[in-house]
Amino acid sequence: MDIIDNESQKTLQPRKIKSVKREETLRIEKAANDGVCIAHDSEGKTIFVRYVLPGELVKANIYRETSEYAMAEPLEIIEQSDKRITPHCQYFGECGGCDYQMTDYETQIAMKTTLAEEVFRYIGKNEIKVSEVIRSPQQFAYRNTETFKCGLAKTFCGKNKHIGFFRKDTRFIVNVDKCAIGMQGINDALASVRAGEYPQQNFKVRTTLDGDTVVHWIKNDKYQDREVYETINAAGLSIKFKISKDSFFQVNDYVVPLWLEKIISFLEKNKSERIFDLYCGIGLITLFVSHFAKETIGVEIAKSSVRDANHNIQINNIESNVRFIESPVENVVDTLGTADVVIIDPPRKGLDDKTRQVILDIAPRKIIYSSCKVQTMARDIQTLSEAYEVQDLVLADMFPQTHHAEMLALLVRK
């Protein structure tokens, strides 16, 4: 692997934020959440530093500061970690999309694992260890959807029309010609948009393993603004999903089958269970687990997602006992009766108080909880711990090169 040298680090341009401009030499102490590491300045103030690794000595630009902490980024790596490598992407350190390109994939996994366990220790009040890691077969070119920002950016040459992503902790749009973690269809569509009339608003690109690519919210001569179809092969099944432009779908098609197979492995083999899939979206989990259950009910608030979910039953000729309910989960969860398994894949805010209590009242034998926000997941599992214990905690790396991860837990009734 290539080690990045000090000279290349010196090319990083300091941010121009009027409120703060000072530099510090910092020893990086440990990794923290949200893609930063922790250091302390000469007066003991906590400094959160981006794009660095534990043990490194760096000259840092402090670009934001409060009375309690400050934010910084490296101007020069004086003493570098042996885990540091050359970033794959030319925009890394300016574009805010990635956090960890400066280190190898196994170090990324180790950092995410340690940080997840720390969250469960401090927020969840539980010494839970990650029992398994699902690595992404693709560590670049894996994202199937990206939203591009469009706007005027003030530069040394005046105001320029940029298409790209926000720089970390700012509203400055970093102009990009391609995204290293986006699938090829994403970058092909970006090139097409750039070749045409400058967009007057942000736009979203979605692509699939089937080669279907669309551009949402703007007009483009080459790409349509419509739904796409994606086929997922997992657990011996092949299911096609309609994904409307307002519907949610997991971003990493390479990890999704492995994640689904792990969820299915938590179910009984005799297809005897009644399953609730809460926050079910277009039925990605629901339709797969329905083949391994006695009855499956999916609940979802988004009208477009429920419409897609019911369409997906029809186009796949699914004859298993499965149905969908369009409603906020908290409005109907206490009307569904009993369940053997409750599957939860909530928004980042986690479960509301009513839903948590109803799940405890239903008392399913198993709860399967998946979330990309480990902090709220740990909080919710802590509140469920009076009746449940964590049997498995899996890190599914849906988001290589970033600090994000999809956590998957199996909770079993005590």
> What architecture is the 110-138+250-413 domain classified under in CATH?
3-Layer(aba) Sandwich (3.40)
Q: What is the pLDDT of residue 233?
A: 97
**Amino acid 18: pLDDT:** 42
pLDDT digits (tens, 9 = 90+) for 82-131: 999 999 999 999 999 999 999 999 999 999 999 999 999 999 888 999 99
Buried/exposed code over 193-225 (b: 16+ C-beta within 10 A; e: otherwise): beeeeebeeebbbbbbeeebbbbbebebeebee
The pTM score is 0.91
Helix (H, G, I), strand (E, B) or coil at 319: coil
| pLDDT on residue 29 | 97
pLDDT tens readout for residues 329-355: 999 999 999 999 999 999 999 999 999
Q: Which pLDDT belongs to residue 159?
A: 75
CATH code: domain 6-86 is: 2.40.50.140
Cβ 27 vs Cβ 57: under 8 Å: yes
Question: For residues 312 and 288, is the Cβ–Cβ distance under 8 A?
Answer: no
- Kindly provide the residue ranges of all beta strands, DSSP E only, lying in 114-227, ordered along the sequence: 132-134, 145-155, 158-166, 173-175, 203-207, 213-216
Percent of the chain with pLDDT over 90: 88
Low-confidence residues of the chain: pLDDT under 70: 1-20, 155-158
Do 6-86 and 110-138+250-413 agree at the fold level?
A: no
So what's the pLDDT on residue 378? 95
Q: Collapsing DSSP states into helix, strand and coil, what is residue 271?
A: coil
What pLDDT, on a 0 to 100 scale, did the predictor assign at position 383? 94
Sequence spans of domains, the chain:
6-86, 110-138+250-413, 145-228
First to last CA, the chain: 47
**CB of 364 within 8 A of CB of 342?**
yes
Three-class SS state of 56: coil
pLDDT tens digit string along 202-242? 999 999 998 999 999 999 999 999 999 999 999 999 999 99
